[in-house]
Amino acid sequence: MQNSPERPRRVTVDRDGPLLVEGPVEVVGDDGTVSVSSRFTVAICTCRRSRTYPWCDTSHRRRVKQHEDKPTRPEAENQNQDQDPEAPS
C-alpha cells in the first residue's frame, strides 16, 4: 500500500513550484481552516498566489513568464554604457 504506516509519506520540493505531497492529505491553514484531498498526489501552493489556496493552480507560472517577457529598455542600457565610471560626479 502506498501510504501504509511502514512507509513515510513523500514530499517533493520544487524551488519554483508547489510542494508535491503523496495523498491523501489534510492541510491546516494558519487561520485554522482545514482542507482535505483524497488524491494520490496533491500540489500545495507555496507562492500564495493561487485562487484555490492551499492547492496550487499554477499561478506561479504566470509570474515567471511575465518576468521573462519583460521588455528591456535599450535607451537605459545605452545611458549606463556612455557614462565614465571614473568621472567625478
Interval 65-78: pLDDT, tens = 444 555 555 554 55
In which order are the strands placed within the sheet that holds 11-13?
11-13, 19-22, 41-44
pLDDT score for 1: 42
pTM over 0.85: no
- The residue among 72 and 46 whose pLDDT is bigger is 46
Interval 22-38: pLDDT, tens = 989 999 999 999 999 99
